[in-house]
Amino acid sequence: MTLTLDQARTIISTTRAKGREMGLKPLSVVVLDSGGHVLAFEREDGAAPGRFAIAQGKAYGAVMLGMAGRAQMARAEAQAYFMAAVNGVYGGQVVPVPGGVLLRKGGVVVGAIGVTGDTSDNDADAALAGAASAGLDAEA
Protein backbone atom coordinates (compact mmCIF):
# COMPACT_ATOMS: atom_id res chain seq x y z
CA MET A 1 0.00 0.00 0.00
CA THR A 2 1.21 3.47 -0.97
CA LEU A 3 0.16 6.57 0.97
CA THR A 4 -1.81 8.93 -1.26
CA LEU A 5 -1.63 12.70 -1.20
CA ASP A 6 -5.26 12.76 -0.07
CA GLN A 7 -4.33 10.62 2.93
CA ALA A 8 -1.40 12.90 3.71
CA ARG A 9 -3.66 15.95 3.52
CA THR A 10 -6.19 14.30 5.83
CA ILE A 11 -3.42 13.47 8.30
CA ILE A 12 -2.14 17.04 8.27
CA SER A 13 -5.54 18.69 8.66
CA THR A 14 -6.54 16.37 11.51
CA THR A 15 -3.20 16.79 13.26
CA ARG A 16 -3.59 20.56 13.05
CA ALA A 17 -7.20 20.42 14.27
CA LYS A 18 -6.09 18.30 17.22
CA GLY A 19 -3.42 20.87 18.00
CA ARG A 20 -6.04 23.65 18.07
CA GLU A 21 -8.33 21.52 20.22
CA MET A 22 -5.47 20.87 22.69
CA GLY A 23 -4.51 24.54 22.70
CA LEU A 24 -0.99 23.85 21.38
CA LYS A 25 1.43 26.36 19.91
CA PRO A 26 1.54 26.66 16.08
CA LEU A 27 2.39 23.27 14.60
CA SER A 28 4.39 22.19 11.57
CA VAL A 29 3.39 18.82 10.14
CA VAL A 30 5.08 16.70 7.49
CA VAL A 31 4.05 13.36 6.00
CA LEU A 32 6.76 11.19 4.42
CA ASP A 33 6.26 8.12 2.24
CA SER A 34 7.76 4.67 2.92
CA GLY A 35 11.09 5.76 1.41
CA GLY A 36 11.38 8.82 3.64
CA HIS A 37 10.45 11.31 0.90
CA VAL A 38 8.16 14.30 1.47
CA LEU A 39 4.53 13.93 0.39
CA ALA A 40 3.05 17.01 2.05
CA PHE A 41 3.88 19.68 4.62
CA GLU A 42 2.21 22.64 6.31
CA ARG A 43 3.64 25.18 8.76
CA GLU A 44 1.10 27.14 10.77
CA ASP A 45 1.29 30.91 11.04
CA GLY A 46 3.50 32.00 13.90
CA ALA A 47 5.78 28.96 13.79
CA ALA A 48 9.52 29.63 13.50
CA PRO A 49 10.94 29.50 9.95
CA GLY A 50 13.15 26.47 10.54
CA ARG A 51 10.36 24.08 11.51
CA PHE A 52 10.31 22.13 8.26
CA ALA A 53 13.70 20.57 8.97
CA ILE A 54 12.71 19.58 12.52
CA ALA A 55 9.45 17.99 11.39
CA GLN A 56 11.20 16.17 8.57
CA GLY A 57 13.99 15.01 10.88
CA LYS A 58 11.52 13.45 13.31
CA ALA A 59 9.73 11.57 10.55
CA TYR A 60 12.84 10.69 8.54
CA GLY A 61 14.55 8.87 11.37
CA ALA A 62 11.36 6.93 12.03
CA VAL A 63 11.16 5.67 8.44
CA MET A 64 14.86 5.02 7.90
CA LEU A 65 15.36 3.13 11.16
CA GLY A 66 11.87 1.63 11.36
CA MET A 67 11.76 3.11 14.88
CA ALA A 68 9.38 5.83 16.11
CA GLY A 69 10.39 8.91 18.10
CA ARG A 70 10.00 7.50 21.61
CA ALA A 71 12.15 4.47 20.80
CA GLN A 72 14.76 6.70 19.18
CA MET A 73 14.80 8.93 22.25
CA ALA A 74 15.25 5.93 24.57
CA ARG A 75 18.19 4.76 22.49
CA ALA A 76 19.70 8.26 22.42
CA GLU A 77 19.41 8.50 26.20
CA ALA A 78 20.97 5.07 26.72
CA GLN A 79 23.66 5.39 24.07
CA ALA A 80 24.05 8.98 22.87
CA TYR A 81 27.04 8.26 20.63
CA PHE A 82 25.02 5.64 18.72
CA MET A 83 22.30 8.10 17.71
CA ALA A 84 24.99 10.66 16.88
CA ALA A 85 26.60 8.09 14.60
CA VAL A 86 23.24 7.24 13.02
CA ASN A 87 22.81 10.92 12.27
CA GLY A 88 26.20 10.91 10.63
CA VAL A 89 25.36 8.12 8.21
CA TYR A 90 22.00 9.75 7.41
CA GLY A 91 23.51 13.15 6.66
CA GLY A 92 22.42 14.77 9.91
CA GLN A 93 18.73 14.38 9.07
CA VAL A 94 17.52 12.58 12.22
CA VAL A 95 15.80 14.29 15.18
CA PRO A 96 15.35 11.47 17.72
CA VAL A 97 12.47 12.67 19.94
CA PRO A 98 8.69 12.12 20.14
CA GLY A 99 6.71 13.68 17.34
CA GLY A 100 8.09 11.23 14.79
CA VAL A 101 5.26 8.74 14.34
CA LEU A 102 5.51 5.57 12.21
CA LEU A 103 2.52 4.73 10.03
CA ARG A 104 1.68 1.10 9.33
CA LYS A 105 -1.01 -0.72 7.35
CA GLY A 106 -1.29 -4.46 7.82
CA GLY A 107 1.96 -4.41 9.77
CA VAL A 108 3.95 -2.81 6.95
CA VAL A 109 5.48 0.67 7.32
CA VAL A 110 3.86 3.00 4.77
CA GLY A 111 5.39 6.28 5.95
CA ALA A 112 5.69 8.60 8.93
CA ILE A 113 4.37 11.83 10.37
CA GLY A 114 6.65 14.47 11.84
CA VAL A 115 5.19 17.14 14.11
CA THR A 116 6.96 20.01 15.85
CA GLY A 117 5.92 23.19 17.63
CA ASP A 118 4.80 22.29 21.14
CA THR A 119 6.34 19.84 23.64
CA SER A 120 7.53 16.64 21.99
CA ASP A 121 4.83 14.64 23.81
CA ASN A 122 2.07 16.98 22.68
CA ASP A 123 3.47 16.92 19.15
CA ALA A 124 3.21 13.12 19.22
CA ASP A 125 -0.36 13.16 20.57
CA ALA A 126 -1.50 15.44 17.78
CA ALA A 127 0.20 13.19 15.22
CA LEU A 128 -1.59 10.14 16.58
CA ALA A 129 -4.93 11.84 15.94
CA GLY A 130 -3.79 12.49 12.39
CA ALA A 131 -2.79 8.88 11.83
CA ALA A 132 -6.13 7.60 13.13
CA SER A 133 -8.01 9.89 10.76
CA ALA A 134 -6.41 8.13 7.79
CA GLY A 135 -7.21 4.66 9.12
CA LEU A 136 -3.57 3.81 9.76
CA ASP A 137 -1.86 2.11 12.69
CA ALA A 138 0.58 4.41 14.42
CA GLU A 139 3.58 4.05 16.72
CA ALA A 140 4.70 7.19 18.53
Q: To the nearest whole angstrom, how small is the minimum distance from the Cβ of residue 134 to a copy of itself?
A: 14
Each as own residue / partner, the long-range contacts of residues 104-107 (CB below 8 Å, 24 or more positions apart, any chain) are 104/136, 104/137, 104/138, 104/139, 105/1, 105/136, 105/137, 106/1, 107/137
Beta strands in the chain (DSSP E): 28-33, 38-43, 100-105, 108-116, 137-139
Contact call for residue 9 and a copy of itself (CB under 8 A):
yes
Query: Would strands 38-43 and 100-105 be described as parallel, antiparallel, or unpaired?
Result: unpaired
* Residue 110 binds to a copy of itself (criterion: CB under 8 A): no
When binding is defined by CB under 8 A, the residue of 24, 68, 71, 76 that contacts a copy of itself is: 76
Residue 39 as a binder of a copy of itself (CB under 8 A): the answer is yes
Closest CA relative to residue 100, chosen from 89, 117, 116, 78: 116
Please say which residue, 21 or 77, places its beta carbon nearer to a copy of itself: 77
**Is 126 among the residues that bind a copy of itself (CB under 8 A)?**
no
Site string for a copy of itself, 77-106 (x = CB under 8 A): x-xxxxxxxxxxxxxxxxxxx---------
Residues that bind a copy of itself (CB under 8 A): 2, 4-5, 8-9, 33-45, 47-50, 52-54, 56-57, 63-67, 76-77, 79-97, 109
